[in-house]
Amino acid sequence: MKDLVIIGSGPAGLSAAVYAKRAGLDAIVIEKDPVSGGQILITYEVDNYLGLPGINGFDMGTKFREHADKLGAEFAEGTVTEVVKVSEGDDSTAPVFKVVTDQGEYETKTVILATGASHNKLGIKGEEEFTGRGVSYCATCDGAFFRNKVAVVNGGGDVAVEDAIFLARGCSKVYLVHRRDELRAAKILQEELMSLSNVEIIWDSVVEEVKGDNKVTAITVKNVKSGEKKDIDTDALFVAIGIHPLTESFTGLCEMDESGYVIAKEDGATSTQGVFVAGDSRKKRLRQIVTAVADGANAVTAVQDFLIGKK
């Protein structure tokens, strides 16, 4: 019987692992991917984490994991498919949860859900057909394939603008298609984007279709104000239209909002006693590395408080 099972080893889960180890809790982190680090692994540069300006995302993920390893945190590989409350517990007894993975099961007194989020899809014609053949969700991973070629980025948030800036370094031309006339991305990123001569922004427009033969050759965009449609010749479409929480496996375990974000207080305590949440899968205003790391620390502190006096 574990004191704590931490599900996910992104910034939130790894921070929780460090705090749990230092608190002397018998904890284990379960991660579905072969490498820890979560979403930051695919970002080429993180420039807003205090003390580490400009760090490469993969290096940051590696550093976070090394920190947890150095303290002796325990890790296991597996995709958690279900968390079941086996017994309720009371003032002197902790509840018991069964954490089911594709590799085995764990019994634990508490759980921290730190499963983060994943990219959204457009759901348009050609998107699925051309995924891996010009349609991509990761500019850092696939951008190099389009050196000296044309790329389109769809979205107006931090990821879309960062992707466009990154791609503009190698592509001959980058179009950014955004559905409004104003970007959501941080001002500093917008300024950098606007300074690039090979980037063109297509405002008030949505991507309606991806076209090609055995790879992408064009996309159809529609101006949402005028209704006018046109084709843009391109070799790639990078979709960067936001994220959704990876919480489907926990439906019914604790309260969530309509999008699947787990509702919790600042300390991560959910509507179910013994279940805590940290990071991007928590309903909150700012989803960043710094808030994920803070969430992990807060959640472990709440776990400690919860377990006081409980066998």
Task: Give the binding site for ligand FAD (CB under 6 A).
Answer: 7-13, 30-33, 38-40, 42-43, 46, 48-49, 79-80, 114-117, 159, 246, 249, 279-280, 287-290, 292
The piece of 1-9, 237-245, 247-255, 300-308 that touches ligand NAP (CB under 6 A) is 237-245
The piece of 8-16, 75-83, 94-102, 148-156 that touches ligand NAP (CB under 6 A) is 148-156
SS3 221: strand
Tell me how many degrees the CA angle 117-118-121 measures, rounded to the nearest 5. 140
Catalytic residue among 33, 90, 141, 181: 141
Q: Is 206 in the site for ligand NAP (CB under 6 A)?
A: yes
Distance CA 10, CA 293 (A): 9
141 is catalytic: yes
Q: Which does 42 bind (CB under 5 to 8 A by kind): ligand FAD, ligand NAP, none?
A: ligand FAD
Q: Is 156 in the site for ligand NAP (CB under 6 A)?
A: yes
User: SS3 helix, strand, coil % of the chain, rounded to 5?
Assistant: 25, 30, 45
Minimum separation from the CB atom of position 24 to ligand FAD (A): 23
Single residue of 287, 297, 303, 306 touching ligand NAP by CB under 6 A: 287
Q: Please, which residue, 43 or 218, has the CB nearer to ligand FAD?
A: 43
- 134 CB neighbour count, 10 Å cutoff: 28
Whether the CB-CB separation of 123 and 130 falls below 8 Å is answered with: no
Which structure tokens are listed for 30? 């379960």
Minimum separation from the CB atom of position 15 to ligand FAD (A): 8
| CA of residue 275 relative to chain centroid, distance | 20
254 is catalytic: no
Distance CA 133, CA 15 (A): 36
| Residue in 203, 246, 311, 239 with CA at minimum distance from that of residue 12 | 246
Binding site for ligand NAP (CB under 6 A): 48, 122, 154-160, 162, 179-180, 184, 186, 206, 240-243, 287-288
